[in-house]
Structure 1
Amino acid sequence: MTISPPEREPGGLLMVGLPGLTIDDSTRELIHHQRINDFILFKRNVADPEQLTRLCAELAQTCRQAGLGPPLIAIDQEGGSVSRLGPPFTQFADARRLAEGPEPEAALRAYARTCAAELGRVGINCNLAPVLDLCPAGQGYYMERRVLGADPAVVARLGVLVIQTMQAHGLAACAKHFPGLGFARLDPHREISALTRSRAELEQDDLPPFQAAAAAGVAAIMTSHTIYPALDPERPATLSPTILTELLREKMGYQGVIVSDDLEMGAISRHHEVAEAALASIQAGADLLLICADHALVRAATARLRAALANGELSARRLQESLARIALLRRGYAGVVG
């Protein structure tokens, strides 16, 4: 088969998971033939630091053999309830506990520095953190433990501290979940929900931490799979050009990488074919699409994006815009541009 240069391949828009502790044949095929160049790791991919170091090195070597640049390798290492790396990696409390402790700045700076050192040592160059959602305590919201608090000024200040510390030490940060998931009662891993906050509430409370992160040069911002009727009554943020392009890009001026949350989550996959959602998310303004488990869905998404390029649903210019942003992120945190 004819392989397109990576700068023209929609596979460069996907960040994918792999099934085990080593690269399997399916992952090798995704790299060589689908031109996948970015990966996300989970507990299923980790036995110990030595094995994880070998896996990351093997991913980098396989990408190099395929003529691709060094991969972005991401993980969710928020601390507390969302930690993919167990001991001997340093174990931290949930973000809220650190933020509400006696010395929050020192605790969060130590968290960010340690993450950068430990993840960098094994070959991971992107941490999908911090969470910048606002969430009041004691009201039953499922994000309560993962957030930095309920005060937008505090969340913005502490979030920027985490972002700047991680990135100053060579680890890309990703602020999530835009435009704010803290008031959602349903977990989007299972089902979609609508967050019925007014536009004024969103603008006064939920958006300022993300605006601060954008101003601080955060490497990536992750989208929410929730519907925000005050902004777009029909589409979740991940699929909404009103939210991703008009609000985040144009009004808020964010120029970094927009990452979708996992398109296999129930909030998306129970209502859309994942391949169609992938195209809709790119059309809405996302750059990098997470598909975290099923390689058949990865192949379907790349095929759909190629078809969209061929029939004009997706312009070559739009593809290039996203690939250029991803290339800049790669150059900053993974090495030479692919």
Structure 2
Amino acid sequence: MTRPEATLIIDLPGADLTPQDARWLRDHPVGGVCLFARNITTPQRTARLTADIRDALGRDALIATDQEGGAVLRRLDVPPPPTPQALGELGEEAAAFHAGQIAARGLLELGINWNFAPSLDVNVDPLNPVIGERSFGPDPQRVAQLGVAWAQGSEAAGVLSAVKHYPGHGDTRVDSHEDLPVVDKTRAALEAAEWVPFRAAAQAGLGSVMTAHILYPQLDPARPATLSRTLLDGVLRGEWGYGGVIVTDAMDMGAIARRWPQGRAAGLALAAGADAVLVCGHGDRAVTDAHVRALRAAQTDGTVPGERLHEALGRLHAAGARFPGQPSPYPAPQRQADDAALLDWARRALRVQGRGPHLDPGATTLLLAPSGTALGGPYGDVVTLDDLHASLRPHLPALVTADLLDPAATSRVLNAHPQAPVLLASTGRWGVTAQARALAPTVIGRAWHLCLWNPDDAHALTLPAVVTHGFRPPNLQALAEVLATR
């Protein structure tokens, strides 16, 4: 009997494959592994990890991660792809294709052959808590054009793409990591917006599609897209003719796990048309074990017929054969060329709104930014006050900093330099801080608002703004160059 756990994509707790984990993989031959930032350390160590995974699972194992660009990156020691939103600002298909290649080169060097990217979600609601800068923008046609090009760039460079989150996560203010979003839209409304990029992806024959844990009651009132035969087998497969891999978003997310605990949704996803079931226990093997048991039960009771299981495994094997994940060097000249492209895009995507104070490199300038910010969902790291200081200081050597989250420190710095220009930075995904809102009226006429993550923050304060569309090194260099000319 075919083992249904071969459809699982699981995670690992650490940076090395322990003997216990290797034994578990050999005893439970899953379809692949998803790596997170905790697994990706030095290139040599991570390459050894992927080689050990393949030794345990076989040469055609799929090893995945989320190297989307911008704030969602798992490997940080290679040229960092820009935010999709920045690429949307540029609107250049060639740049999007190149960005997909850049993401792939940094993964294939380590033996990673599957990238859960790019997001083809249309940014319908800018207050969506989980998409934002991960989207190529609010225009469905532009998202389709640029997103498909990005994915094609990745696949041309040897890494399977997974466009997500079908059929669209851009019009809800509920984060599916936490709970089940409901998008009560008609089919006609979805066809006019959210479905445009995914239909284009299906027509382009991209390698894989990741599902959304979202309920669309006007199409399936009972089950979210991940578990919906109507949306997976019906629309994506049947109507659009998609023949690639369908992979679920992580089944341990709140939208699914709260309603179908103990892995009970895994078999339902396969029955609906998914080929791979992503399960991330974050070090808790009990989560994965529960899904293995649930899949075996679903096979035994007929929830997942044998032909459906064989079909799913056939697609996974074909993807592994097409993208074998043989590590490929990332030569220094290619890295330099990619870094140059990233800096060029960062410079051209940067937006200056309004007229702020002149910044004299020889005089004091105040930098007020949070020392940290709340993360969540897919986000793993953030720009800090120290990062900003280090990036701006070569251009503004008399920079004086204060933690915006420490009102007393901020007041001391402002009182000590009452005439100095101010750089008031917003560094988080979740909007302008209360401290920044309170401070902004007191520095009108002497401040720039630096929007380093969420471009919509520029409209929240009545200050001239610099919008960088990202906080990675190319963005911070472009920011420093612009501020030095103000």
Q: Find 1:304's aligned residue among 294, 297, 301.
A: 294
Aligned to 2:87: 98
Instruction: Give the 4+ runs in structure 1 shifted more than 3 A.
Output: 136-142
1:127-160: per-residue Cα shift (whole Å, max 9, x none)? 1111001014644553111001111111111111
Contact 2:85 2:134 in 1 (8 A): yes
Does residue 159 (structure 1) correspond to residue 150 (structure 2)? The answer is no
Q: Does 1:233 align with 2:221?
A: yes
Q: State percent identity of aligned pairs.
A: 37
Question: Does the 8 A contact of 1:268 with 1:274 survive in 2?
Answer: no
The one of 180, 196, 201 equivalent to 1:208 is: 196
* Structure showing greater relative contact order (alpha-carbon pairs closer than 8 Å, 6 or more residues apart): 1
Q: CA deviation digits over 1:9-49, x for unaligned, max 9? A: 11210000000010124422331111123000001101122
Match for 1:299: what amino acid? D
> Would you say the 8 A contact 1:30–1:36 is kept in 2?
no
Aligned partners of 1:176 and 1:97: how far apart in 2?
Answer: 18
Whether 1:31 and 2:25 are equivalent positions in the alignment is yes
Tell me the number of residue pairs that the alignment of Structure 1 and Structure 2 aligns: 324
Shift of 1:318: 1.1
Q: Is 2:275 aligned against 1:287?
A: yes
Q: Which runs of 5+ in 1 are unaligned?
A: none
Select the residue among 260, 282, 289 that pairs with 1:272.
260
Structure 1 residues 151, 45: CA separation in 2 closer, same or farther (over 3 Å shift)? same
Structure-2 residue corresponding to 1:48? 42
Measure the CA separation in 1 of the matches of 2:296 and 2:130. Answer: 37
Q: Which amino acid aligns with 1:109?
A: F
Matches within 5 A, 1:1-338: 8-63=2-57, 68-86=58-76, 88-101=77-90, 104-136=92-124, 138-293=126-281, 294-334=284-324
SS at match of 1:83: coil
SS at match of 2:164: strand
The 1-side partners of 2:127 and 2:27 are apart by 48
CA–CA separation in structure 2 for the residues paired with 1:58 and 1:188: 32
Q: Which amino acid aligns with 2:108?
A: G
Contact 1:184 1:195 in 2 (8 A): yes
Confirm or deny: 8 A CA contact 1:14 1:290 kept in the other structure: yes
Change beyond 3 A, Cα 1:140–1:251? closer
From the superposition, tell whether residues 25 and 300 of structure 1 become closer, same or farther in structure 2 (CA, over 3 Å).
farther
Q: Which moved more, 1:208-217 or 1:88-97?
A: 88-97
Please report how far the alpha carbon of residue 80 of structure 1 lies from its aligned counterpart in structure 2 after TM superposition. Answer: 1.0
Give distance in 2, aligned partners of 1:36 and 1:142.
29
Within 1, Cα distance between the matches of 2:297 and 2:224?
24
- What secondary structure is seen at the aligned counterpart in 2 of 1:296? helix
Q: Which moved more, 1:21-30 or 1:244-253?
A: 21-30
CA offsets, 1:137-190, max 9 Å, x none? 644553111001111111111111111111112110111000000011111111
Mark the runs of 5 or more structure 2 residues left unpaired by the alignment: 327-486
Please give the per-residue CA displacement for 1:271-293, whole angstroms capped at 9, x wherever unaligned. Answer: 11142111111111111000012
Larger radius of gyration: 2
CA positional deviation for 1:312: 2.4
Indicate conservation of the 8 Å contact 1:176/1:224, yes or no. Answer: yes
Q: Indicate conservation of the 8 Å contact 2:81/2:103, yes or no.
A: no
TM-score (norm 2): 0.64
* Range that drifts further, 285-294 or 256-265: 285-294
Q: Is the CA contact 1:263–1:274 (under 8 Å) kept in the aligned structure 2?
A: no
Higher normalized helix content (fraction of residues): 1
The normalised TM-score by structure 1 is: 0.91
**Per-residue deviation at 1:61?**
1.8
Q: Evaluate the alpha carbon distance shift between residue 253 and residue 274 of structure 1 in structure 2; reply closer, same or farther with a 3 A threshold.
A: farther
Task: Using the TM superposition, give the Cα deviation of residue 311 of structure 1 relative to its aligned residue in structure 2, in angstroms.
Answer: 2.9
- Looking at structure 2, the residues matched to 138 and 309 of structure 1 have their Cα atoms a distance apart, in angstroms, of 42
Residue type of the alignment partner of 1:329: A
Q: Which amino acid aligns with 2:72?
A: V
